[in-house]
Chains A and B, each alone.
Chain A
């Protein structure tokens, strides 16, 4: 039985303002270990808002969120930062690599905010770069890399530290179709290895590769392929509150 990684219960996000924007209407969602979820929807529909909530970069206006069975709603800012650093890996459309650091130094940043020896960090960063096929570009600076290579560095950084959940916000949005293919194959590989992935995409090719498709329209979340999954999730969720701790 696969355990749930993400459990959203009536999670809502309203941005205050005049008028207030309900970027995410109260939503229930369960993502299980090993799931590969594509989040699709038109621009401004609330996809990034959902991803930021999943990644603890933002807090819901109401509702409860359990990550790996931990209710993260009641955590302090520093505790949420700790959970984010250990359990979440992010990949962004614009890569967010630091220009003045080499590939391996960029990847090593992933473990900066936890205890560890620099040497071990480096070894893990090198292993992650080898996993994404960049073992030969360890000391290259981001400006000398192609877009596809940069995004693979970002994926390596997200993988370092073995997160429970990989979150990607339009990871191929800045890439041409050829490099998009290579990054998506990398995601397929990671999915095969059992990583839990949620990725926002506009690309129907990309969403076709995912095993689940979640659709957001005007902040309303739906899962068109399998309406029955919601009930399945509710059943499983009651059993696994003490799910895996790391």
Chain B
């Protein structure tokens, strides 16, 4: 007849661990502190990396991934200015506008004006300023996502009629002390009087427009002898950039498309993973080191507690616990401690991500699996840290353990 072995249910193990951990809550929390910080650091850094990465990506998406820029390629040919005349047509914007996926397209060219810009009413004692003059086609406003502060954008009619009307960027308007355009105030480009019909408050791209006097292509050709558009700006749908990049040169210069240089955004996915892996690698190392420190903390305190609880270990053996029951009790305790630390650390980490995001006006992004994995990592740390102390506890001889008080 084989006698019955002793038995310890999982439920009893759990409740023994819970009792042991709550018996001295202060000590439990101090023991868990290292792991709490490690898990918190891990969650916070992964969460922040992800959050920051998403912010970069979303800005990248909106501005870079939808931008196509076309210039004549002067590097390969060696030929210069006069070739541009034939390369970029004045109606480049209209041609590209017809392509699927293009939201706005237009030309942009610097106009060389040696004269200063003069405003009629004097602003702070002087009324002459060094401001750049830029010629654009009406479609350019959409291509750079210009926002109107007041007045109106000029249109095809103004350009074709070579009318002496201009737009001002907000910076230029302030310099020239132009605040209202309802009576179309006059300014002078050198000696040429022009009427201001609108002020641009902001642009998403080409911020130099904000400090410039903006004239129409037609007026610039007539008045300042502009030879050819310098560049063509295109605002495209998300994901359409690569395709437009191949179609645009053909649309603009069907005979020699290879002589146009097209800038399209690099693949957004690559940009995203690049940002994340850099940040993650550094922070993961930091979190890993904190976890190691946390594990050593749990191991030390559990070892001390095995020594302190020799009497209890002896008693439990006397009550029928086998060596493996003693080992599992200490393993469960340290694993539960680790899991507890993991939960607290996860909460702290999430709070950190949310707090930093609120401050940076970011949208916090946290992988859901992280919320499950982090406490599990804590439990695993506790389990590993408890292995040696648990073995020590199980190796304690009951008669020696009972002799100690």
Show 7 A/B contacts (Cβ-Cβ < 8 Å), sorted by A. A77-B322, A81-B320, A82-B320, A84-B319, A88-B318, A100-B24, A105-B19
Partner of A113, one of B24, B320, B402: B320
Partner of B7, one of A70, A83, A88, A115: A115
Once A57-B398, A58-B399 are accepted as A-B contacts, the answer to whether A112 and B3 lie under 8 Å apart by CB is no
Once A57-B399, A115-B9 are accepted as A-B contacts, the answer to whether A81 and B405 lie under 8 Å apart by CB is no
Residues of B within 8 A of A55 (CB): 318
- Which residues in window 295-320 of B have CB below 8 A to A? 311-312, 314-320
- Which residues in window 190-246 of A have CB below 8 A to B? 245
User: Is A136 an interface residue, CB under 8 A from the partner?
Assistant: no
Q: How far is the CA of A112 from the CA of B19 in the complex (A)?
A: 14
User: Is A120 an interface residue, CB under 8 A from the partner?
Assistant: no
The answer to whether B3 touches A109, judged by C-beta atoms less than 8 angstroms apart, is no
- Which residues in window 81-119 of A have CB below 8 A to B? 81-86, 88, 90, 92, 94, 96, 98, 100-101, 105, 109-110, 112-115
Residue with the greatest number of chain B CB neighbours at <10 A, chosen from A81, A85, A90, A114? A81
In the complex, residue of chain A having the shortest beta-carbon distance to the beta carbon of B16: A112
Q: How far is the CA of A82 from the CA of B8 in the complex (A)?
A: 11
The answer to whether A114 touches B1, judged by C-beta atoms less than 8 angstroms apart, is no
Interface size on A, residues (CB 8 A): 33
The answer to whether B3 touches A83, judged by C-beta atoms less than 8 angstroms apart, is yes
The answer to whether B402 touches A112, judged by C-beta atoms less than 8 angstroms apart, is no
Chain B 107-148, CB within 8 Å of chain A: the 1/0 string?
Answer: 000000000000000000000000000000000000000000
The answer to whether B319 touches A82, judged by C-beta atoms less than 8 angstroms apart, is no
The answer to whether A82 touches B6, judged by C-beta atoms less than 8 angstroms apart, is yes
Residues of A within 8 A of B324 (CB): 78
Q: Which 3 A-B pairs have the closest CB atoms?
A: A85-B320, A100-B23, A113-B320
Partner of B319, one of A48, A83, A100, A113: A113
Residues of B within 8 A of A79 (CB): 2-5
The answer to whether A85 touches B3, judged by C-beta atoms less than 8 angstroms apart, is no
Residues of B in contact with A (beta carbons under 8 Å apart): 1-9, 12, 16, 19, 23-24, 311-312, 314-325, 398-399, 402, 405
Q: How far is the CA of A78 from the CA of B4 in the complex (A)?
A: 9
The answer to whether B321 touches A81, judged by C-beta atoms less than 8 angstroms apart, is yes
Residues of A in contact with B (beta carbons under 8 Å apart): 48, 52, 55, 57-58, 70, 75, 77-79, 81-86, 88, 90, 92, 94, 96, 98, 100-101, 105, 109-110, 112-115, 157, 245
The answer to whether B3 touches A114, judged by C-beta atoms less than 8 angstroms apart, is no
Shortest Cβ distance from residue A49 to the other chain B in the assembled complex, whole angstroms: 8
The answer to whether A78 touches B315, judged by C-beta atoms less than 8 angstroms apart, is no
The answer to whether A96 touches B402, judged by C-beta atoms less than 8 angstroms apart, is yes
The answer to whether B12 touches A112, judged by C-beta atoms less than 8 angstroms apart, is yes
In the complex, residue of chain A having the shortest beta-carbon distance to the beta carbon of B329: A112
The answer to whether A82 touches B3, judged by C-beta atoms less than 8 angstroms apart, is yes
The answer to whether A86 touches B4, judged by C-beta atoms less than 8 angstroms apart, is yes
Q: How far is the CA of A113 from the CA of B326 in the complex (A)?
A: 11
Q: How far is the CA of A113 from the CA of B398 in the complex (A)?
A: 16
Residues of B within 8 A of A88 (CB): 318
Given contacts A58-B399, A82-B7, A110-B319, 17 further A-B contacts (CB under 8 A): A70-B3, A77-B323, A78-B5, A78-B322, A79-B5, A81-B6, A81-B317, A85-B320, A86-B320, A94-B311, A96-B311, A98-B315, A100-B24, A105-B19, A113-B6, A113-B325, A115-B9
The answer to whether B8 touches A112, judged by C-beta atoms less than 8 angstroms apart, is yes
Shortest Cβ distance from residue B142 to the other chain A in the assembled complex, whole angstroms: 74
The answer to whether B319 touches A75, judged by C-beta atoms less than 8 angstroms apart, is no
The answer to whether A57 touches B16, judged by C-beta atoms less than 8 angstroms apart, is no
Shortest Cβ distance from residue B81 to the other chain A in the assembled complex, whole angstroms: 90
Residues of A within 8 A of B312 (CB): 96, 98
Q: How far is the CA of A113 from the CA of B319 in the complex (A)?
A: 7
Shortest Cβ distance from residue A74 to the other chain B in the assembled complex, whole angstroms: 10
The answer to whether A96 touches B315, judged by C-beta atoms less than 8 angstroms apart, is yes
Residues of A within 8 A of B23 (CB): 100
In the complex, residue of chain A having the shortest beta-carbon distance to the beta carbon of B322: A81
Q: How far is the CA of A98 from the CA of B310 in the complex (A)?
A: 12
Q: How far is the CA of A110 from the CA of B1 in the complex (A)?
A: 24
Residues of B within 8 A of A245 (CB): 1
Q: How far is the CA of A114 from the CA of B405 in the complex (A)?
A: 26
Once A82-B3, A82-B4, A100-B19 are accepted as A-B contacts, the answer to whether A113 and B321 lie under 8 Å apart by CB is yes
Shortest Cβ distance from residue B260 to the other chain A in the assembled complex, whole angstroms: 81
Q: How far is the CA of A75 from the CA of B1 in the complex (A)?
A: 11
Partner of B318, one of A57, A70, A100: A57
Residues of A within 8 A of B5 (CB): 78-79, 81-82
Q: How far is the CA of A85 from the CA of B325 in the complex (A)?
A: 13
In the complex, residue of chain B having the shortest beta-carbon distance to the beta carbon of A101: B19
Q: How far is the CA of A82 from the CA of B317 in the complex (A)?
A: 10
Residue with the greatest number of chain B CB neighbours at <10 A, chosen from A82, A90, A112? A112
Shortest Cβ distance from residue B3 to the other chain A in the assembled complex, whole angstroms: 5
Residues of A within 8 A of B399 (CB): 48, 52, 57-58
Residues of B within 8 A of A77 (CB): 322-323
Shortest Cβ distance from residue B140 to the other chain A in the assembled complex, whole angstroms: 78
Residues of A within 8 A of B7 (CB): 82, 113-115
Once A58-B399, A77-B323 are accepted as A-B contacts, the answer to whether A84 and B12 lie under 8 Å apart by CB is no
Residues of B within 8 A of A58 (CB): 398-399
In the complex, residue of chain A having the shortest beta-carbon distance to the beta carbon of B22: A100
Q: How far is the CA of A86 from the CA of B320 in the complex (A)?
A: 7
Partner of A75, one of B3, B316, B317: B3
Once A98-B312, A101-B19, A115-B9 are accepted as A-B contacts, the answer to whether A109 and B4 lie under 8 Å apart by CB is no
The answer to whether A57 touches B317, judged by C-beta atoms less than 8 angstroms apart, is yes
